[in-house]
Structure 1
């Protein structure tokens, strides 16, 4: 399991796509209008200034070598390879914004490489998912849309990328745009794993726990190996005061993992039932 997935599970309700910053909108009922505010402030955010983290000693020497390559070459293939390798080191150490910025730098001389564009977009989305500062969330969301939309223009069938773009809108001044996109995804593919998961998470965030449980029930029906979905289904039952269902579901989660951090989190909920 990826470190990021483990963190998301242990945090409980606090999950992907900047939930701390999300407005509390109604997700699964008829939507009203929302106020669109001026978003120009995010354009002045210096994304490059967000990348001053220090690497651990065991990775620093290798990273310095890739940085040297990035600084000395204009060869697109060499630059892309070095950027991907350096980004992988940053991601390994949880420096997701640094990884995204590194890939973006490679695009400056390799902008036509659609694979690299996609990697940069995904990296910015991962950074966005863990960002808490409002200005940083907005800047990283904009970067995510910039790159992933380039891929979607070439291949609109990429629902995996469309769900990421949709989630970035949920924390914007017009959250219903993202929710509408997510509904469109599920209308096209009712079993879409990311779509069901994210709609469940958004329902939780807005306090619609019964509706969240329905979404997660669908998710685990079609994707039983989705551990996050299994866990959030149990949490949704818990918050809906469905104690018997919550207990049974938390016990089910215990069968799916041996990770002590997850088991400790599950036991905390079980002790409260």
Structure 2
């Protein structure tokens, strides 16, 4: 397992793309932005997501899910079908089957395409599935679905920077990463203290090996949002990778004061042992 993957798992980062899934993008240099696609990234076929986790549910939830699927396909009441789809999404979400959860929320939207709250919920679910997708085809599919739903909300309310950051991140992993970087910069121009924008730009700088620039982003993040444990941790990692050992040690010690989570503390200690 790559170190970047381990960090994401340890911190339980949900709405953040795994670093390994992103193209190598230079995000903050004055010369501009360039991207190099991962030569090892191979497209793979993705089965029908409605059948993807058919037998993957725990026995406690499987019978309930079967009943709900029957209701979804056979009930004549749209309200009942929508509730069945939403409950199915909740079951799959609980069991970590994020693409199936998103699929059923999408089914609910099909039944009530004017419900903007439901559209947003589906878009966020697809973004979460996108964040943890492991193969290229699934990443692309989940990203496209995220944009389809969240852009509908943004058309009604362009001030929703929280949703715009998610859309931006789906472009970063696409064939046109510059579009995502440009959107992220626009977000920070509109709101220089934007938590998601600063965090994601820091992550992207790390991914492209710009650790000093990443540290600057995370310094801004924790200045305005000191309780962001992920930002505090990544700031320490950025110092570590920038060979700023004293700063890294002090920052890792700061992270230790902020949490009692044994997995985070173990990860922090592994870095401290290397300093």
Superposed displacement of residue 97, structure 1: 0.3
Moved more, 65-74 or 6-15: 6-15
Residue in structure 1 matched with residue 16 of structure 2 by the alignment = 16
Counterpart mapping for 1:216-255 below 5 A: 216-255=218-257
Distance 1:179 1:193 in 2: 16
Q: Secondary structure at the match of 1:255?
A: helix
Distance 1:172 1:150 in 2: 20
Superposed displacement of residue 258, structure 1: 0.9
Residue in structure 2 matched with residue 39 of structure 1 by the alignment = none
Q: What's the C-alpha RMSD, in Å, of the aligned pairs? A: 2.6
Superposed displacement of residue 32, structure 1: 4.6
Aligned pairs, how many? 263
Instruction: Compare relative contact order (CA 8 Å, sep 6+) and give the higher one, 1 or 2.
Output: 1
Superposed displacement of residue 75, structure 1: 2.9
Query: Would you say the 8 A contact 1:216–1:229 is kept in 2?
Result: yes
Superposed displacement of residue 113, structure 1: 1.3
Residue in structure 2 matched with residue 75 of structure 1 by the alignment = 77
Partner residue of 1:103 out of 93, 97, 105: 105
Superposed displacement of residue 105, structure 1: 1.4
Distance 2:116 2:14 in 1: 32
Are the structure 2 counterparts of residues 33 and 235 from structure 1 closer, same or farther at C-alpha, using a change threshold of 3 Å?
closer
Gaps of 5+ in 1: 1-5, 37-41
Q: Secondary structure at the match of 2:221?
A: helix
Query: Segments of 4+ in structure 1 off by > 4 A?
Result: 11-15, 32-36, 44-47
Superposed displacement of residue 34, structure 1: 6.3
Query: Would you say the 8 A contact 2:53–2:97 is kept in 1?
Result: no
Residue in structure 1 matched with residue 119 of structure 2 by the alignment = 117
> What TM-score results when the alignment is normalised by the length of structure 2?
0.88
Residue in structure 2 matched with residue 190 of structure 1 by the alignment = 192
Residue in structure 2 matched with residue 161 of structure 1 by the alignment = 163
Q: Secondary structure at the match of 1:16?
A: coil
Distance 1:15 1:234 in 2: 20
Superposed displacement of residue 52, structure 1: 2.4
Moved more, 75-84 or 213-222: 75-84
Q: Secondary structure at the match of 1:156?
A: coil
Residue in structure 2 matched with residue 179 of structure 1 by the alignment = 181
Distance 2:139 2:15 in 1: 14
Distance 1:14 1:91 in 2: 12
Are the structure 2 counterparts of residues 163 and 251 from structure 1 closer, same or farther at C-alpha, using a change threshold of 3 Å?
same
Whether 1:152 aligns to 2:151 is no
Query: Would you say the 8 A contact 2:168–2:179 is kept in 1?
Result: yes
